[in-house]
């Protein structure tokens, strides 16, 4: 009746996961009750959970990503603690089977449920605003995508309380991940959670490629789009081309595990290197799916806080697309040791090094943007500079790793770990923190506390270097990754420095929470009245903060690059706004619970598959199909915002802008 | 811009619209099929990964039966004719829908669905035969990849049949509204795409597999 599920699935004997999951459950129940007591459930349900507004969906993605960041970070600090303790005679506090689950969960969560939701969240929030339009191409599907991602995150975290997580590393390489060697539900949690969230990600890509190519404000030609839109386009094209391969790869492993197929098994003609090839055909573009939007964020920050147009806009676009294409030609550098031969390894090694060229172009463009500009050293600018310093080193160690003979030596060592954390933390996480600070006022109407923001930056910057520079050294000394026990006592000082670094990053994470709380408490001191707190250059700063549901009362007419900057300078020069346009009623998509119900059935079905509860799996599938048909049967998918409301809001915005214009022209 | 576009032949039918979205957001009749096309492309990539898997494992028979011993060209020929014909009738249904002719639309959709069902029936028959002979997907890596590639196409056809049924019910209940017609267009794109993939399966799996 309940498949493999029984009382033994709950980790009674294991205090760490048991207590953690109990605390999390109590906290979640507490928050739910608190929201209910305050009477906020209708608001949360109507304004967020069922919302088809790209801004609200973006915020939900970002909240999900930040919550999962805390989970992933807890895993990280547990690993650092273990490696500092389990040296020589000591075995530390984590037994191997638990330690293996922790590093697997850390990688899986950080990539799929931290980096991806955060990057997609910022795309959601920003891209339609920057394109000067009212929503994405498929607003309901957008909501569905988010809830499918959340469903995957739920299943991953459920493994803490029911059963176990995979002990196979974040990519679950066979034959270790086959049923023979991993008979438990851990790998199944991994596979099912990623399949569900993967569907959400592909739908997001369909949505954003369509939006960017087909839904733009009048006059917004391709070479007038902000660079963040370009990099989002490139990232979504990569998702569209890479994620189906992940679906296939994980699907084949599921067939092996559930139905005794022989794709990657040791017997029956299976070939585990096929898995390596397939997973990295997805895995390498995935790196660029994360870093390209980050490059876009840095481009926006560089131009805004240098008070100058981005240097080399067209070369930036060209570099983005070059990276987008070359990223599909380098996957083999993840397993040079496979033994494909010198020729193949050389080709992939050279292709990997070539990627450094367009990336270098970008670095120089940001530097030249700053050169001669009026640089304001606000928090996002700190992250930009910190990123450039960190990322260049990370890029250089990457070029080292791309040399096959070197790779043979440092393959799977802590050198590799240091390299990819350097590009992901120094590249993606810094960008996310910059974007969080930069676009926060647009989302909520007030800025974050600047001093605390700088403190957080220094925690990340110093903490990161302390945590990962020692790993380069250890990697050269032969320390391999994923070690539950450290045999060589001379490594201890370096591991302790790494632990110290992780603690400093931890202080940064705590300060982020403090900053949010303090900024909300003292928001009256930092209200963003004008909608343009940073003297921005792109269209999201044209509308108020937070923007109305429909973003723009009238779609802006774009003339030239830097749509908003041009318009703002004209207004300042003429000391007047453009002539009041003729307002029209606006048609907007209605909110719908389709996404959350769909994800409910997906979670039920996924859970049932993990635990082999077949009747429940079939029930879940039927439920999902029924929701689909029910939604398709609805006739009304849009509602009309009356022209009076549009006009009233727009006039209010014009009044605020006029006042702002007067202060500006008086100050100059 | 527009005159420039006109001189290099980017515009058509005297319209000033370059089709590149310069003139603001495109209408739903463009956006919806465009998005669906992107989805179909990602589906093609899904199949390309399965084709790559098949090509890698086709000789990994682990001492079991090989392609030549298993495949029956005649059976597959009937299957192929059924599916290709169903694409043709799907096109006829689209023409009828464009003319808002309820009877012919429903009729051709029904024929399309029936031909799809014939295809699916023959495929399942072939699968059952092979499993009966002890050549099931658990036998070897080659058979695992064969059943997955062909079965994944079959699963798509099954989804297509469900969709055809749903669309017939929707057209019946709601008539030829704009959004129904858009969905019908997406359905036909999906159905034709399955045909293209089948042609590749027919060639790579069955024709090459039965070369003497």
**Alpha helices, DSSP H only, in A522-590?**
563-574
- B3 versus A584: the higher-pLDDT residue is A584
Residue closest to A308 by CA, chosen among A369, A264, A250: A369
Residue B14 has pLDDT above 60, yes or no: no
Strand partners, A589: A638
- B91 confidence band (pLDDT: 50, 70, 90): very high
Active site residues of A: 61, 71, 75, 79, 103, 124, 135, 142, 145, 149, 201, 204, 211, 284, 286, 288, 299, 315, 359, 362, 419-421
CB B96 within 8 A of CB B108: yes
Is A274 in the B-facing interface, judged by CB distances under 8 Å? yes
Question: CA of B61: which chain A residue's CA is closest?
Answer: A269
Using an 8 Å CB-CB cutoff, list chain A residues near B58. Answer: none
- Residue A150 to residue A368: CA distance in whole angstroms: 40
Instruction: Give the chain B residue whose CA is nearest to the CA of A556.
Output: B24
| Alpha-carbon distances of B104 from B90, B101, B107, B178, B185, rounded to whole Å | 11, 6, 5, 18, 16
Asked if residue A295 lies in contact with residue A303, where contact means CB atoms within 8 angstroms, the answer is no
| pLDDT, position A668 | 59
Distance CA B81, CA B77 (A): 6
Contacts of A117 (CB under 8 A, 6+ apart): A61, A62, A64, A65, A68, A149, A153
Transcribe A94-157 into DSSP letters.
S-HHHHHHHHHHHHHIIIIIIIHHHHHHHHHHHHHHHHT-SS-S-HHHHHHHHHHHHHHHHHHH
Nearest to A270 among B35, B141, B166 (CB): B141
pTM: 0.95
Low-confidence ranges of chain A (pLDDT < 70): 667-668
pLDDT of amino acid B9: 34
B138/A261 Cβ within 8 A: yes
ipTM: 0.94
Phi, psi of A484 (to 5 degrees): -80, -25
d(CA A52, CA A39): 22
Taking the CA of residue A583 and the nearest CA in chain B, the distance in Å comes to 16
Cβ contact B45–A219 (<8 Å): no
Residue of B38, B66, B168, B169 to mutate, testing the A interface (most A Cβ within 10 Å of its Cβ) = B38
Cα separation, A365 vs A383, whole angstroms: 16
pLDDT digits (tens, 9 = 90+) for B149-174: 999 999 999 999 999 999 999 999 99
| Residue among A262, A274, A278 whose CB faces B140 most closely | A262
Strand partners, B23: A218
* Subunit contact A209:B38, Cβ cutoff 8 A: yes
In terms of CA atoms, which chain A residue is nearest residue B177? A635
Q: Which of A315, A437, A301, A441 is nearest to A375 (CA)?
A: A301
DSSP string, B146-168: HHHHHHHHHHHHHHHHHHHHHHH
How does DSSP assign A620-650, residue by residue? HHHHHHHHHHHHHH-S--EEEE-HHHHHHHH
Q: Which residues does chain A have within 8 Å of residue B170's beta carbon, measured at their own beta carbons?
A: 632-633
Structure confidence by residue, pLDDT tens digits, B194-203: 999 999 999 9
Tell me which residues of chain B have a C-beta less than 8 Å from any C-beta of chain A.
1, 20-26, 30-31, 34-35, 38-39, 41-43, 45-46, 49-50, 52-53, 56-57, 60-62, 137-142, 144-145, 147-148, 162, 166, 170, 173-174, 179, 183
DSSP state of A480: B
Say if the Cβ atoms of A632 and B166 lie within 8 Å.
yes
Q: Which of B49, B50, B62 sits opposite A269 (nearest CB)?
A: B62
In CATH, what is the architecture of A40-592+634-667? Up-down Bundle (1.20)
Chain B interface mutation, best of A216, A233, A269, highest count of B Cβ atoms under 10 Å: A269
Residues of B in contact with A268 (CB under 8 A): 62, 138-141, 144
- Best of B5, B22, B33, B178 to disrupt the A interface by mutation (most A CBs within 10 Å)? B22
Strand partners, A480: A413
* Structural domain boundaries in chain A: 40-592+634-667
Strand, helix or coil at A33?
Answer: helix
Query: Given CB atoms, is A267 within the 8 Å cutoff of chain B?
Result: yes
- Nearest-by-CA chain B residue for A262: B141
The whole-angstrom separation of Cα A62 and Cα A443 is 12
Query: Between chain A and chain B, how many beta carbons pairs sit less than 8 Å apart?
Result: 132
Q: State the Cα–Cα distance between residues A196 and A561, nearest whole angstrom.
A: 39
Q: Which two tokens stand for residue A518?
A: 């303090």
Contact B21 A215 (CB under 8 A): yes
Give the pLDDT of residue B20.
Answer: 55
- Residue A425, classed as helix, strand or coil, is helix
Task: Quote the minimal CA–CA distance from A550 to chain B in Å.
Answer: 14
The tens digit of pLDDT for each residue in B28-67 reads: 889 999 999 999 999 999 999 999 999 999 999 999 999 9
**A104 and A187 in contact (C-beta within 8 Å)?**
no
Nearest CB partner across the interface for B25, out of A133, A271, A635: A133
What is residue B207's DSSP assignment? I
Helical residues (DSSP H) of A327-403, grouped into ranges: 342-354, 356-370, 379-401
CB contact under 8 A, B50 and A274: no
Q: Do B142 and A269 touch (CB under 8 A)?
A: yes
Residues of B in contact with A220 (CB under 8 A): 21-22
Among A290, A321, A315, CA closest to A368: A315
Q: List, for residues A73-94, the tens digit of each pLDDT value.
A: 999 999 999 999 999 889 999 9
Q: Choosing among A268, A554, A635, A638, which should be mutated to test the B contact, i.e. which has the most B CBs within 10 A? A: A268
Show the domains of chain B with their CATH numbers.
27-209 (1.20.120.80)
> Is the CB of A220 inside 8 Å of chain B's CB atoms?
yes
DSSP string, A259-322: H---SS-SSTT--HHHHHHHHHHHHHHHHHHHHHHHHHHHHHHHHHHHTSPPTTHHHHHHHHHH
Given an 8 Å threshold on Cβ–Cβ distance, is A244 in contact with B22? no
Q: Residues 503..522 of A with a Cβ closer than 8 Å to B: which?
A: none
The whole-number pLDDT of residue B7 equals 36
Q: Could you report the per-residue pLDDT of A334-380, keeping only the tens digit for each?
A: 999 988 899 999 999 999 999 999 999 999 999 999 999 999 999 99
- Kindly determine whether residue B49 and residue A249, on different chains, have CB atoms separated by under 8 Å: yes
**Chain A, window 623-652: residues with a beta carbon less than 8 angstroms from a chain B beta carbon:** 625, 629, 632-633, 635, 637
Quick one: pLDDT at residue A141? 95
Provide the percentage of residues in chain B whose pLDDT is more than 90: 83
Give the HSE-up count for residue A175: Cα atoms under 13 Å, Cβ half-sphere.
13
What CA–CA distance (Å, rounded) separates A636 from A47?
19
Residue the block writes with tokens 């790209």: A54
Six token digits for residue A1 = 């009746």
DSSP string spanning A19-30? HHHHHHHHHHHH
- Answer yes or no: do A248 and B43 touch at CB < 8 A: no
Best of B4, B19, B21 to substitute, by most chain A Cβ atoms within 10 angstroms, is: B21
Residues of B in contact with A637 (CB under 8 A): 179
Contacts of B60 in chain A (CB under 8 A): 269-271
CA distance A9 to B127: 37
Query: Residue A268 and residue B43: Cβ atoms within 8 Å?
Result: no
CB A301 within 8 A of CB A380: yes
Q: Decide if A245 and B49 are in contact by the 8 Å CB cutoff.
A: yes
Residue A580's contacts (CB-CB under 8 Å, 6 or more residues apart) are: A651, A654
**Considering CB atoms only, which of B23, B62, B170 is closest to A632?**
B170
The confidence score (pLDDT) of residue B22 equals: 66
Overall size of chain A counted in residues? 668
pLDDT at residue B16 is higher than 50: no
Output b/e per residue, B17-28; b: 16+ Cβ within 10 A: bbeebbbbbbee
Query: Phi then psi for A500, rounded to 5 degrees?
Result: -60, -45
A259 CB neighbours in chain B (<8 A) are: 137-138
Q: Distance between CA A33 and CA A453 in Å, rounded?
A: 31
């Amino acid at each position: 009746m309940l498949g493999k599920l029984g009382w033994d699935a709950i980790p009674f004997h294991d205090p760490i996961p048991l207590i953690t999951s109990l605390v999390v459950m109590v906290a979640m129940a507490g928050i739910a009750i608190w929201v209910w007591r305050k009477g906020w459930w209708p608001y949360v349900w109507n304004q967020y959970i069922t919302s088809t507004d790209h801004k609200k969906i973006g915020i939900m993605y970002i909240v999900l990503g930040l919550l999962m960041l805390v989970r992933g970070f807890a895993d990280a600090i547990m690993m650092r603690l273990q490696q500092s303790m389990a040296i020589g005679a000591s075995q530390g506090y984590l037994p191997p089977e638990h330690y293996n689950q922790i590093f697997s969960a850390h990688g899986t969560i950080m990539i799929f449920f931290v980096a991806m939701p955060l990057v997609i969240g910022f795309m959601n929030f920003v891209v339609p605003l920057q394109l000067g339009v009212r929503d994405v191409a498929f607003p309901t599907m957008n909501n569905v995508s988010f809830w499918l991602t959340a469903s995957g995150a739920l299943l991953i975290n459920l493994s803490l309380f029911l059963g176990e997580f995979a002990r196979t590393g974040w990519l679950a390489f066979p034959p270790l991940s086959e049923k023979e060697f991993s008979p438990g539900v851990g790998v199944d949690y991994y596979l099912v959670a990623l399949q569900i969230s993967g569907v959400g990600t592909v739908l997001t890509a369909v949505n954003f490629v369509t939006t960017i190519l087909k839904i733009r404000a009048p006059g917004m030609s391709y070479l007038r789009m902000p660079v963040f839109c370009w990099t989002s386009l490139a990232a979504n094209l990569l998702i569209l081309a890479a994620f189906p391969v992940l679906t296939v790869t994980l699907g084949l492993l599921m067939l092996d595990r559930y139905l005794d197929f022989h794709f990657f098994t040791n017997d029956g003609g299976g070939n585990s290197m096929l898995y390596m090839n397939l997973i990295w055909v997805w895995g390498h573009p995935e790196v660029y799916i994360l870093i390209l939007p980050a490059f876009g964020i840095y481009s926006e920050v560089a131009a805004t806080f240098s008070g100058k147009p981005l240097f080399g806009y067209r070369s930036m676009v060209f570099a983005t697309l070059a990276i987008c294409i070359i990223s599909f030609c380098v996957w083999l550098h993840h397993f040079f040791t496979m033994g494909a031969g010198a020729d193949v390894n050389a080709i992939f090694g050279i292709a990997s090094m070539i990627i450094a060229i367009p990336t270098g172009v970008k670095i120089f463009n940001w530097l030249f943007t700053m050169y001669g500009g009026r640089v304001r050293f606000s928090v996002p600018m700190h992250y930009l500079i910190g990123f450039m310093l960190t990322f260049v080193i990370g890029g250089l160690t990457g070029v080292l790793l791309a040399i096959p003979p070197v790779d043979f030596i440092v393959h799977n060592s802590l050198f590799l770990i240091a390299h990819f954390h350097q590009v992901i933390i120094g590249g993606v996480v810094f960008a996310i923190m910059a974007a969080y600070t930069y676009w926060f006022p647009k989302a909520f109407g007030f800025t974050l506390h600047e001093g605390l923001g700088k403190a957080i930056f220094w925690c990340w910057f110093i903490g990161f270097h302390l945590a990962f520079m020692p790993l380069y050294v250890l990697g050269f000394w032969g320390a391999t990754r994923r070690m539950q026990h450290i045999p060589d006592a001379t490594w201890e000082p370096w591991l302790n420095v790494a632990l110290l670094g992780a603690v400093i990053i931890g202080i940064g994470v705590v300060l982020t929470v403090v900053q949010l709380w303090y900024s909300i408490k003292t928001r009256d001191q930092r209200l963003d009245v004008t909608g343009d707190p940073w003297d921005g250059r792109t269209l999201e700063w044209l509308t108020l903060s937070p923007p109305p549901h429909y973003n723009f009362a009238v779609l802006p007419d774009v003339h030239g690059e830097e749509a908003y900057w041009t318009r703002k300078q004209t207004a300042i020069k003429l000391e007047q706004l453009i002539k009041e346009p003729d307002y029209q009623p606006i048609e907007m998509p209605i909110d719908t619970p389709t996404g959350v119900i769909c994800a409910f059935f997906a979670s039920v079905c996924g859970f049932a598959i993990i635990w082999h509860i077949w009747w429940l799996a079939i029930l879940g599938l039927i439920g999902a199909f029924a929701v689909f048909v029910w939604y398709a049967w609805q006739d009304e998918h849009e509602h009309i915002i009356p022209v009076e409301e549009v006009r009233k809001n727009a006039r209010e915005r014009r009044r605020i802008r006029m006042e702002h214009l007067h202060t500006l022209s008086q100050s100059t | 811009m527009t005159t420039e576009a006109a001189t290099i032949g980017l515009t058509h039918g005297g319209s000033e619209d370059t089709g590149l979205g310069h003139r603001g957001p495109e209408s739903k009749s463009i956006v919806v099929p465009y998005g669906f096309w992107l989805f179909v492309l990602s589906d093609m990539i899904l199949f390309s990964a399965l084709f790559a898997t098949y090509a890698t494992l086709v000789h990994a028979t682990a001492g079991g039966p090989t392609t030549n011993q298993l495949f029956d060209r005649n059976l597959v020929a009937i299957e192929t004719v059924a599916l290709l014909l169903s694409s043709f009738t799907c096109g006829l249904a689209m023409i009828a829908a464009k003319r808002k002719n309820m009877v012919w639309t429903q009729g051709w959709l029904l024929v399309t669905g029936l031909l799809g069902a014939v295809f699916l029936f023959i495929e399942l028959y072939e699968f059952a035969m092979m499993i009966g002979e002890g050549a099931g997907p658990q036998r070897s890596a080659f058979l695992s990849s064969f059943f997955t590639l062909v079965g994944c196409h079959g699963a798509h056809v099954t989804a297509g049949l469900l969709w055809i049924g749903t669309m017939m019910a929707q057209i019946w209940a709601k008539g030829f509204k704009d959004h129904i017609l858009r969905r019908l267009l997406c359905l036909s794109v999906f159905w034709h795409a399955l045909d293209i993939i089948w042609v590749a399966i027919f060639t790579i799996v069955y024709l090459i597999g039965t070369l003497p």
